[in-house]
Amino acid sequence: MFMKLRIAIKLFVYKLFSKNTRISDETYNKILFFVMFGRIPNFDNPRTFNEYICARKVRLDEFELSKYTDKFEVRDYVAKCIGEQYLNETYGVFNSFDDIPFDELPAQFVLRGTHGSGYNIIIKNKNEFDKKKAKKTVDHFLKQNYYYFGREKNYYNIKPRVLCDKYIEGVADGTVPEAKVFCFNGKAKFISYNIVIDGQTYTNHYDSTWNKLNYRQGYPEYNKEIVIPNQKEIIELAEKLSLLFEFVRVDLYNLSNKILFSELTFHSGGGLVPFEPEKYDYQFGEFFKEVSLPR
């Protein structure tokens, strides 16, 4: 209940202050951090994983990461790095809803904003979906600059567009397992593995050799043993995709017969998701000592 209150206050702060440019990135993130953790962070000498994530948002000049954050532009990097077979098929990228050639599209597809998170519309039957409602939703998210929500600079220069993807059952609605591999200097250190069972999302956590770790961050753990296919390939692909970066979380959909690229995440959870128990926040913060943090 207490965490729900913290999240509600965080959302209120987003609404109240996110676009107030008179509030610096540092002050804004300190407010959000205080809301979620009950203490003022030290961005000059961070110690925890979340503190480091927030410090990187504030201290690093990450505008050049836009091409790896843009959901369309990153496809070129992925294709060159690990191969096109790990990419979902796309039908095109468009500047506006009115530019989308619906008559040329299959019966099922997905519309996604290239410039942020949560900008998704799933169309299971194009002859029945509410096009007027969809246009209103797309027009709204195309006006957003996702940078302002968490002050993540890698979003700032992304041109808002609409990406039209092939519909794949489970991938479209996020019900297939997704491996989130945390990589430092090209090496996987730990993994969060999302699964959906009976409509409930769970996250189990593992070290780089798939030994289970007992902590919670975000969704609850699933307390029964699960089978995770493609374990070796997941790590190999994540490490290849992470080689250019000091730190990145590589997200991969783990289908039964193949792996598909999801996205590259440079500020996991915005640095605002507590660990339970808290000792893991400090333990994983140690990995950042291997990477740079400008003062």
Structural domain that includes position 81: 66-166
For residue 17, is pLDDT > 50?
Answer: yes
For residue 295, is pLDDT > 80?
Answer: no
Cα-based distances in Å from 225 to 174, 195, 222, 228, 283: 21, 12, 8, 10, 25
Domain boundary among 62, 80, 97: 62
Q: What percent of the chain is modeled with pLDDT above 90? A: 87
Q: Which is more confident, 50 or 12?
A: 50
**Same domain (yes/no): 251, 225:** yes
For residue 294, is pLDDT > 60?
Answer: no
DSSP at 271? G
Contact in structure between 115 and 158 (CB atoms under 8 Å)? yes
**Same domain (yes/no): 149, 84:** yes
Mean pLDDT for the stretch of residues 162-183: 91
pLDDT value of position 224: 87
**Same domain (yes/no): 159, 185:** no
Side-chain half-sphere exposure of 265, counting CA atoms within 13 A? 20
pLDDT value of position 257: 86
User: In this structure, is residue 272 part of a structural domain?
Assistant: no
For residue 60, is pLDDT > 60?
Answer: yes
User: In this structure, is residue 187 part of a structural domain?
Assistant: yes
**Same domain (yes/no): 96, 143:** yes
Q: What is the pTM of this model?
A: 0.95
**Same domain (yes/no): 52, 110:** no
Domain boundary among 62, 79, 96: 62
User: In this structure, is residue 136 part of a structural domain?
Assistant: yes
CATH number of the domain residue 188 falls in: 3.30.470
Element (H, E) at 194: strand 187-197
**Same domain (yes/no): 189, 261:** yes
Domain boundary among 62, 95, 110: 62
pLDDT value of position 61: 92
**Same domain (yes/no): 20, 103:** no
**Same domain (yes/no): 129, 200:** no
Contact in structure between 216 and 281 (CB atoms under 8 Å)? no
- Total domains, the chain: 3
Residues, the chain: 295
User: In this structure, is residue 108 part of a structural domain?
Assistant: yes
Instruction: Report the C-alpha gap between 37 and 22 in whole angstroms.
Output: 24
Mean pLDDT for the stretch of residues 72-80: 98
Q: What is the pLDDT of residues 229-266, one digit of tens each?
A: 999 999 999 999 999 999 999 999 999 889 999 999 99
Q: Which is more confident, 225 or 230?
A: 230
Q: What is the pLDDT of residues 268-282, one digit of tens each?
A: 999 999 999 999 999
Burial class, 7, CB count within 10 angstroms (exposed 0-12 / middle 13-18 / buried 19+): middle
User: In this structure, is residue 289 part of a structural domain?
Assistant: no
User: In this structure, is residue 238 part of a structural domain?
Assistant: yes
Q: Which is more confident, 106 or 2?
A: 106
**Same domain (yes/no): 184, 259:** yes
User: In this structure, is residue 284 part of a structural domain?
Assistant: no
pLDDT value of position 1: 52
Mean pLDDT for the stretch of residues 148-172: 94
- What is the average pLDDT value for the chain, to the nearest integer? 94
Residue 219 DSSP SS3: strand
Contact in structure between 188 and 208 (CB atoms under 8 Å)? yes
**Same domain (yes/no): 153, 76:** yes
pLDDT value of position 52: 97
**Same domain (yes/no): 36, 128:** no
User: In this structure, is residue 26 part of a structural domain?
Assistant: yes
For residue 152, is pLDDT > 70?
Answer: yes
Burial class, 188, CB count within 10 angstroms (exposed 0-12 / middle 13-18 / buried 19+): buried
Of 6-20, 113-127, 137-151, the least confident = 6-20
**Same domain (yes/no): 56, 146:** no
